[in-house]
Chains A and B, each alone.
Chain A
Amino acid sequence: MSHAIDTKQPASTLQGARLPNWAPYVIAAGSIAVGCGIGLAGGLDSRIQWGLIASILFLLVTYLLAAKIEGGRQAKDRMATSVVWVAFLLAVIPLVSLIWETVARGMKVLDSYFLTTSMGVLADTDVGGGIYHALIGTLEQVGLATLMAVPVGLLTAIYLVEYGRGKLAKAVTFFVDVMTGIPSIVAGLFILSFWILILDMGYSGFAGAMALAILMMPVVVRSTEEMLKLVPNELREASLALGVPKWRTILKVVLPTSIGGITTGVMLSVARIAGETAPVLLLVWGNPLINTNPFEGPQASLPLYIYQQYANSAGSPAAYDRAWAAALTLIILIMVLNLVARGIARWKAPKTGR
């Protein structure tokens, strides 16, 4: 502060009194210190308050100092910068906390025993048990959903990009967008109403897979569409000009060119539905035993397992440990899918022209 005032009075219009470069860091450190101090002295037991006090202090001090030394416009600019930084940090905190808690609490029981054992006849409050049955359920349900959703999604995207004209294409485009926003529980209720309540079929992995497929289709359509649009028209024309029929042009030229991007899109959508709980809760029901047949009888699934361990255990620590470990497994599964998908995207990127 004194530094800025000590510099000789600006002789020209070009110079302006400015806070030194280190000022934001010093103010930030000071605010955090004071925030913690107030928190300790005032006996505020929630860290959230400490953080809020520190953030507000930081913003206020920055604004007042800048307004006094640099003038109103610069103060507003600094204020905006600080607000944007604080917004970013506010968003990072829950993410870090979530990952940290899941890893720290999930590691407790996550071992090979946990991965290869089902719950069997264990009571929810007992120690032991695992997620083998849930893993099988998740893999089968997600696999079936992918088998249903990917062909439909791919073909729809091809229709929209390669053939799509007129009202039908417009309607499909619009409803694909709208379908992206359908709450997963509504997709579950739909399958419930016609598959279980009207056709009188029982709970099964397949019923859940149908709901998951509905959630997956629009995502596949969207991402595939984007990828197909990136294929240069010259390629299509070159092939058509050689007398290759259109359908073979699409299969042999367009799809191979964009296959990397399409795979990425499909994997990201798989990652998305692998964590869906609500439709599985309504349609697969849950099952502590191993059921490898997705077409017959209730199954378990990883997200559903987490929910049931949490909700049905009346606060038993053993069940919470299992819930955290299952959550960690699920996150790892999804992150691996994400990373592989991004890897493919990067690896195949030059061919798609991006």
Chain B
Amino acid sequence: MDISPSTTAPPPPPQDLKASSPVSHKAASRGATRPGDRIFLGLSRGSGILLLLIMAAIAAFLTYRASIVLSENEGNFLTTFEWDANSIPPVFGIAVLAFGTVISSIIAMLIAVPIAVGIALFITHYAPRKLSGPIAYVIDLLAAVPSIVYGLWGALFLVPHLTGFYSWLNDYFGWTGILEWQGGAPRSLLTVGILLAIMILPIITNVSREVFKQAPQMHQEAALALGATRWEVIRMSVLPFGRSGIISASMLGLGRALGETMAVATVLSPSFLINTSILDPGGGTFAQNIASKFSEATVQGRDALIASGLVLFVITLVVNGAARAIIARRKEYSGANA
């Protein structure tokens, strides 16, 4: 066995274990003729298959329900700017939802990624050693707070406190058109973006932190020994090493932001139009639209919501799959060079 888990050494990276652990089990499982072994293997393999079946069922059932209503849709599912799914025939389209989802997620990413990378660096390279543990714990707490509580806080605390900020943005940057404000309640895509940023901060921070922690000490020492300042060490040996990690962390965060429901539903005042300004009402998000429209929806209306949910499902699938693929490739890369 080429691994030697000891009581003090840090656990070896998972891929090593995977590669080396089965040697003994393979022989054992091939000879799994005992009834106990066969039942146990059947049960555990069955659970794995069940998970795959659930994923397939999600895709199948959503597609089936969506197909019923899409064949009757009078509007264009992709380009129609309205959501009148209860009427007969239904007229609905996801253009506004796609717009709002993308814009709010972009805002959230623009705010959260730099701050999260900063905090991750703070924990691994800047904070006094005694502080870094508690800080990591605080970040975990931030992750444990349920989204509905963020929503409540966003709606009843954040929104009233943003009025001044909105008018300030309008005064100085209103000319850009993007930050123009007509003076309504600050429940627009920008507020949603800010709230989402706070909510996805922990996951981006935690994943980046893990990557920065793994940055090889020897390259950091090489930079130090050349007379690099702390920032130069980070720029020369930590950030290049962690770049793909930051990207995949951001995509995991993006996946969260795209699918977040309750926080958006409580904060946003949705409207079925597209506005160039992110301070004025305009747009909704897939998830928020489902939550807000659900209680009044007829069966047909629900199928329409399911159709929009299917789009959200596919988008998050692609984003998360890409993030995982990047992480997997990075593992191979770093494994080959270790």
- A159 pairs with B231, CB closer than 8 A: no
Among A46, A80, A327, the residue within 8 A (CB) of B149 is A327
Q: Which stretch (A57-65, A96-104, A116-124, A289-297) binds chain B?
A: A96-104
B174 contacts the other chain (CB 8 A): no
With A87-B115, A278-B262 in contact, do A177 and B41 touch (Cβ < 8 Å)?
A: no
Q: Please, which residues of chain B bring their CB within 8 A of the CB of A177?
A: 320, 324
- B51 pairs with A156, CB closer than 8 A: yes
Q: How far is the CA of A88 from the CA of B142 in the complex (A)?
A: 13
Chain A 156-189 interface mask (CB, 8 Å, partner B; 1/0): 1011111111001101101111111111111101
Q: How far is the CA of A217 from the CA of B305 in the complex (A)?
A: 25
- B164 pairs with A240, CB closer than 8 A: no
- The A294-314 residues at the B interface (CB cut-off 8 A) are 303, 306-307, 310-311
With A91-B201, A237-B24 in contact, do A181 and B319 touch (Cβ < 8 Å)?
A: yes
Q: How far is the CA of A327 from the CA of B40 in the complex (A)?
A: 43
Interface SS of B by simple majority: helix
- A80 pairs with B157, CB closer than 8 A: no
With A168-B45, A183-B261, A229-B14 in contact, do A77 and B229 touch (Cβ < 8 Å)?
A: yes
Q: Which stretch (A4-12, A25-33, A125-133, A191-199) binds chain B?
A: A191-199
B20: min CB distance to chain A, Å = 8
Q: How far is the CA of A158 from the CA of B147 in the complex (A)?
A: 31
Among B37, B153, B294, the residue within 8 A (CB) of A247 is B37
A105: min CB distance to chain B, Å = 8
Chain B 108-150 interface mask (CB, 8 Å, partner A; 1/0): 0000001101110110001100000001001111101111111
Q: Please, which residues of chain A bring their CB within 8 A of the CB of B261?
A: 183-185, 277-278
A235: min CB distance to chain B, Å = 9
A281 contacts the other chain (CB 8 A): yes
- A87 pairs with B118, CB closer than 8 A: yes
- The A1-43 residues at the B interface (CB cut-off 8 A) are none
B271: min CB distance to chain A, Å = 17
B98 contacts the other chain (CB 8 A): no
- B230 pairs with A80, CB closer than 8 A: yes
Minimum CB distance partner of B321 in chain A: A178
Chain A 216-249 interface mask (CB, 8 Å, partner B; 1/0): 0110010000100110111011001000011110
Minimum CB distance partner of A186 in chain B: B313
Q: Please, which residues of chain A bring their CB within 8 A of the CB of B229?
A: 73-74, 76-77
Chain B 53-79 interface mask (CB, 8 Å, partner A; 1/0): 011011001101100000000000000
Q: Please, which residues of chain A bring their CB within 8 A of the CB of B117?
A: 87
B87 contacts the other chain (CB 8 A): no
Q: How far is the CA of A232 from the CA of B174 in the complex (A)?
A: 62
Among B149, B153, B165, B232, the residue within 8 A (CB) of A77 is B232
- The B264-322 residues at the A interface (CB cut-off 8 A) are 265-266, 287, 290-291, 294, 299, 302-303, 305-306, 309, 312-313, 316-317, 319-321
A123: min CB distance to chain B, Å = 18
**Given A77-B231, A98-B153, A247-B39, 15 extra CB contacts under 8 A:** A73-B229, A83-B118, A92-B138, A97-B157, A152-B50, A154-B47, A159-B48, A183-B259, A183-B312, A189-B305, A226-B14, A229-B18, A233-B24, A246-B25, A331-B145
